[in-house]
């Protein structure tokens, strides 16, 4: 864990090194993923079967080995304890309500020259959702990906998920039932992404692929962007907590660890204006670590990538640092969090106030928890219904409207040396 003082000599250089540390996979992953994609494209289901048995120890011998049917998802939902079923239903309802409010409006109007213009939004025909298996199998992630797709009007919703040793996570199946997933295939890794992009005899291709995964999954999405749409190329998780000394150090410590426990490559950062409070939080992290079943990953993350920055004034100094970091999650635990948030231009999602831990956003708040990492919040946003939709613009001119704006089009076409363009307009003008 590194501690920096904003006022100390050499801070700018040390901070810049932290900003530039991407913590992402090495180039060795690229070649392996390229080979897997080529294999799936060439051999289809045969490649999927070989790779699934190799990596997941799950033979795809019968149809039951390939797919998980809707009846199994419904049974998993019914088998939940009432409290857990209610929790999933609550999360789904809040996620659905938030994303329904994101739906864009179609436009259709006629301007002063009599030209009818507009645009219509439509959901894609099919979307593929990658759901990690094993330790990283999270039902909340399935809800966050599947519900916006359904709200957007996607016609066919396909999940691929690895089932190591044949093991299926019942919570994931229950979430699929709630979200209305149409197909679930028991394949994972880069090979699943390739199958969704190109299709095989069993798995029909999709138009958009979303969902988290390991470095191989992320690299496969990156390589296949253009064949299909993707949500984003995600790296290790990160959290930035901006907190004053009025907070309980234990609260802030566990907030930092809430992302550290995801992955040894995750990063947790604290910015505070109170050096004593910073020390108290560091001590509290040790206390909290000792109680976590995820201690190994969380400790490696904290000790390798943890960062504590002390500044003179949070309102004056923290926003600029936060904008440079462009973190996935930004938590602002101060008396007036809005004043700081108003100055933050780059963040995946923000959590305002002492009683708004980032973890509430992971589950039941409503906004999507699929967010840009690795400073991509400078130019990217969290997953939304728009990731599953496309916009088609339209025009309609009558003879009068064409005579009003057509001559300008002819002039521009001639200037660009494209005579057929100009003639397609001028011939209608009688020229």
Task: Please check whether residues 313 and 168 belong to one and the same domain.
Answer: no
Distance (Å, whole) CA 41 – CA 138: 29
Q: What is the DSSP letter of 27?
A: T
Pair (374, 415) in one structural domain: no
Same domain, 173 and 75: yes
Look up residue 228 and give its two tokens: 């299909």
Q: How far is CA 306 from CA 188, 270, 314, in A?
A: 31, 8, 19
253 and 319 share a domain?
yes
CA 175 to the chain's CA centroid: 18
DSSP 291: T
Judge residue 290's burial from the number of C-beta atoms within 10 Å of its C-beta, 0-12 exposed, 13-18 middle, 19 or more buried. exposed
pLDDT number for residue 136? 62
179 within 8 A of 150, measured Cβ to Cβ = yes
Residues 292 and 147 in one domain: no
Q: What is the pLDDT of residue 397?
A: 98
| Sole residue written with tokens 């106030």 | 353
Residues 309 and 332 in one domain: yes
Whole-model pTM?
A: 0.93
> Into how many domains does the chain fold?
3
| Active-site annotation holds for 329 | yes
> Which DSSP helix (H) or strand (E) runs through 185?
strand 183-185
Decide if 96 is inside a domain.
yes
- Summarize pLDDT for 119-129 with one digit per residue, the tens: 999 999 999 99
Both 250 and 219 in a single domain? Answer: no
Backbone phi and psi for residue 146, each to the nearest 5 degrees, phi listed first: -75, -40
pLDDT at 134: 64
Q: State the CATH number of the domain containing residue 370.
A: 3.40.50.1980
Q: What is the DSSP letter of 225?
A: B
If asked whether residues 191 and 243 sit together in one domain, one would say no
How do strand 116-123 and strand 107-110 relate by DSSP bridges? antiparallel
Residues 177 and 291 in one domain: no
| Position 22 in a domain | no
Give the structural domain span for 131.
Answer: 28-105+123-230
Closest CA to 284 of 315, 255, 309: 255
* Burial of residue 408, with CB atoms counted within 10 A of its CB: 0-12 exposed, 13-18 middle, 19 or more buried: exposed
Catalytic residue among 99, 262, 329, 369: 329
Does 401 reside within a domain? yes
pLDDT averages per 10-residue partition of the chain, 431 residues: 95 94 77 97 97 94 93 97 96 98 98 98 98 79 97 97 91 96 96 98 98 92 97 92 98 97 94 98 97 96 97 98 98 98 98 98 96 95 97 98 98 98 97 85
Query: Is 355 labeled as catalytic in the residue annotation?
Result: no
Say whether both 240 and 140 belong to one domain: no
How would you list the strands of the sheet with 307-310, edge to edge?
2-5, 307-310, 267-272, 238-243, 329-333, 349-352
> Can you give the pLDDT at residue 197?
98
Structure tokens at 220: 């496969």
Choose one of 230, 253, 287: the last residue of a domain.
230
Q: What is the Cβ-side half-sphere exposure of residue 153, based on CA atoms within 13 angstroms?
A: 10
The answer to whether residue 291 is domain-embedded is yes
Give the end of a domain, one of 215, 230, 245. Answer: 230
> 331 - beta bridge partners?
241, 351
In what side-by-side order are the strands of the sheet with 116-123? 107-110, 116-123, 389-396
Q: Which one of the listed residues 328, 331, 346, 369 is annotated catalytic?
A: 328
Is there a single domain that holds both residue 299 and residue 373?
Answer: yes
Question: Is residue 17 domain-resident?
Answer: no
pLDDT in tens, 131-144: 988 656 789 999 99
Residue 373 and residue 243 share a domain: yes
**Residue 115, domain member (yes or no):** no
Residue 352's nearest CA partner among 335, 366, 333 is: 333
């Amino acid at each position: 864990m590194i501690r920096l003082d904003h006022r100390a000599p050499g801070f700018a250089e040390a901070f810049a090194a932290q900003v530039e540390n991407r913590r992402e996979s090495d180039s060795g992953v690229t070649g392996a993923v390229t080979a897997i994609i080529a294999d799936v494209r060439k051999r289809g289901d045969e490649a999927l079967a070989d790779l699934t048995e190799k990596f997941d120890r799950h033979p795809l011998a019968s149809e039951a080995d390939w797919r998980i049917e809707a009846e199994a998802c419904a049974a998993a939902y019914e088998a939940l304890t009432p409290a857990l079923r209610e929790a999933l239903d609550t999360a789904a309802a809040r996620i659905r309500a938030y994303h329904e409010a994101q739906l864009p409006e179609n436009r259709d109007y006629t301007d002063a020259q009599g030209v009818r213009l507009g645009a219509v939004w439509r959901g894609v025909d099919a979307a593929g959702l990658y759901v990690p298996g094993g330790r990283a199998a999270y039902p909340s992630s399935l809800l966050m990906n599947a519900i916006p797709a359904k709200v957007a009007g996607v016609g066919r919703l396909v999940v691929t998920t690895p089932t190591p040793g044949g093991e299926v996570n019942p919570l994931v199946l229950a979430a699929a039932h709630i979200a209305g997933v149409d197909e679930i295939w028991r394949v994972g890794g880069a090979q699943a992404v390739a199958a969704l992009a190109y299709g095989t005899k069993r798995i029909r291709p999709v138009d958009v692929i979303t969902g988290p995964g390991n470095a191989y999954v992320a690299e496969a999405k990156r390589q296949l962007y253009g064949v299909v749409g993707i949500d984003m190329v995600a790296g290790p998780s990160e959290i930035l907590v901006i907190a004053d000394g009025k907070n309980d150090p234990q609260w802030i410590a566990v907030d930092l660890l809430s992302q550290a426990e995801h992955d040894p490559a995750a990063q947790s950062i604290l910015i505070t204006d109170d050096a004593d409070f910073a020390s108290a939080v560091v001590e509290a992290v040790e206390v909290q670590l000792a109680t976590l079943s995820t201690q190994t990953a969380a400790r490696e993350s904290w000790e390798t990538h943890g960062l504590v920055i002390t500044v003179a004034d949070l309102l004056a100094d923290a926003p600029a640092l936060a904008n440079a970091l462009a973190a996935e999650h930004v938590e602002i635990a101060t008396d007036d969090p809005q004043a700081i948030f108003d100055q933050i231009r780059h963040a995946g999602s923000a959590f305002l106030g002492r009683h708004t831990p980032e973890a509430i956003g992971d589950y039941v708040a409503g906004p999507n928890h699929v967010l840009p990492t690795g400073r991509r919040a400078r130019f990217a946003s969290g997953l939304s219904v728009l990731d599953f939709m496309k916009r088609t613009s339209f025009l309609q001119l009558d003879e009068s409207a064409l005579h009003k704006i057509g001559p300008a089009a002819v002039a521009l076409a001639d200037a660009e040396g494209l005579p057929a363009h100009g003639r397609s307009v001028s011939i209608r003008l009688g020229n």
